[in-house]
Amino acid sequence: MIILGIDPALTITGYGVIQAKSNKLFLLEAGIIVTSPKEKIEKRLERIYSGIIKLISDTKPEVLVLEKLFAHYRHPTTSYILGQARGVICLATAVKNIRLVEYAATRVKKAVVGEGLASKVQVQRMVADLLNISSLPKYTDVTDALALAIAHSYIERPK
């Protein structure tokens, strides 16, 4: 199964594509989609949408995995902005007709690290270990996206 994990944001959207085959995980592609705060919001959202559409076309995943939206009452604007990026990603899954799955951050950490309150560093190290990555990616957005894909492979693994 080919799984695309996306860590959405308006400035840096991380992505990771893995293949889960015979209880083994293989890294196919990982990176970021970057937008500039100097651009208008509609251009930034279009850049994210186009990047996701191209990524889906190039990698042909069976499923796209997103982190469930967490809104903190002290930072309502953050969830509003994140919701816009998530919206165009969800639209891309509908346009490309692939399944969309969402998991809470604690569920992803529990599946990947074994602890729902694991730190970003613990998640990064476990992702690198599971995918045999010799050096950690520059952006945690990439390892967060890969963690989403890995978690889905564990949660959806045939029993």
Closest CA to 64 of 6, 150, 146: 6
Helix (H) or strand (E) holding 156: none
58 is catalytic: no
- Rounded-to-integer distance, Cα 14 and Cα 7, Å: 5
144 is catalytic: no
DSSP, collapsed to helix, strand or coil, labels residue 4 as: strand
141 is catalytic: yes
Given 42, 46, 62, 67, the catalytic residue: 67
Q: Which two tokens stand for residue 15?
A: 């992505």
Given 29, 102, 115, 141, the catalytic residue: 141
- Rounded-to-integer distance, Cα 98 and Cα 61, Å: 8
Q: Which residue's structure tokens are 């199964």?
A: 1
User: CA torsion 56→61→63→64, rounded to 10°?
Assistant: -40
Q: Which residue's structure tokens are 């500039």?
A: 36
The residues carrying an active-site annotation are 7, 67, 141
